[in-house]
Homo-oligomer: A and B are copies of this chain.
């Protein structure tokens, strides 16, 4: 599977046109927002007729769904690449290989990050996410932006979300607990596992972590990691800091430092 060599010329051409359609769609979304996505406009931009696109996508919704899938895929790859410096020298063919989850034996170099290099790992993931978001803000909002009341993301994206969560759980495992350090709260200082949230999170870690169950404290830290980065990032991307006259990266960096216990 995923062997580009055995593809027939027609298949290669097909994949190429599909890719160009998606690229034009991304451009269009980046320029005018997702609601402005128009199949006819894409076709015109590519020098072909509107109905031609129906050879490649079942319709407008199908195209958008594919873009959302790609965005999730790209984010997950970015997160994984941030913790595994050089996973493979060759770039993957940008999700055209289908939604296979890829075995990818990740249990080989798992030395738990030499105890306290988990901090830098977490920071690397944080800044990688920020760079990914800044590279294409509308792609970020495709995932984390205003939800369309009727729409539900395709079922297979949850698997990709799990990949991201797995990375977050890994880099958060060795982070300062927060409860004791006061960096995260959740219960009385030093008590540790008495909070109602920790109780609610008990046993939920098994859905994403490699081992059966991540401790609720780690899960809590991962969630906080996620929500705090999203908080600063999304407000920055939406331009809510522009009139305030300070560099949003400093605020982001401060949040990352806080998460690392610095």
- Chain A, residues 175-213, CB within 8 Å of chain B (1/0): the string is 000100111111010000001110011001001000000
CB atoms of A149 and B33 under 8 A apart: yes
Q: How far is the CB of A8 from chain B (nearest CB, A)?
A: 39
Interface of A is mostly: helix
Complex Cα gap A240–B230 (Å): 12
Complex Cα gap A181–B181 (Å): 8
Complex Cα gap A239–B197 (Å): 18
Nearest-CB residue, chain B, relative to A223: B251
Give residues 134-190 of A contacting B (CB, 8 Å). 137-138, 141, 144-150, 158, 178, 181-186, 188
CB atoms of A148 and B33 under 8 A apart: yes
Give residues 244-262 of A contacting B (CB, 8 Å). 244-247, 250-251, 253-255, 257-262
Complex Cα gap A35–B141 (Å): 15
Q: Does A234 contact B (CB under 8 A)?
A: yes
Complex Cα gap A237–B230 (Å): 13
Q: Does A97 contact B (CB under 8 A)?
A: no
CB neighbours of A229 from chain B (8 A): 231
Give residues 8-42 of A contacting B (CB, 8 Å). 30-35
Among B144, B226, B234, B258, which residue has its beta carbon within 8 angstroms of that of A184? B258
CB atoms of A226 and B220 under 8 A apart: no
Complex Cα gap A32–B207 (Å): 32
CB atoms of A247 and B200 under 8 A apart: yes
Nearest-CB residue, chain B, relative to A259: B185
CB atoms of B237 and A147 under 8 A apart: yes
Among B146, B227, B260, B262, which residue has its beta carbon within 8 angstroms of that of A255? B227
CB neighbours of A32 from chain B (8 A): 148-150
Which residues of A pack against B, CB within 8 Å? 30-35, 137-138, 141, 144-150, 158, 178, 181-186, 188, 195-197, 200-201, 204, 207, 220, 223-224, 226-232, 234-235, 237-240, 243-247, 250-251, 253-255, 257-262
Extra inter-chain contacts (11) besides given A31-B149, A35-B35, A230-B235, CB under 8 Å:
A33-B146, A144-B238, A145-B145, A181-B182, A184-B254, A188-B262, A196-B253, A197-B246, A200-B247, A224-B254, A227-B228
Top 6 A-B pairs ranked by shortest CB distance? A231-B231, A185-B258, A145-B146, A35-B35, A227-B231, A197-B250
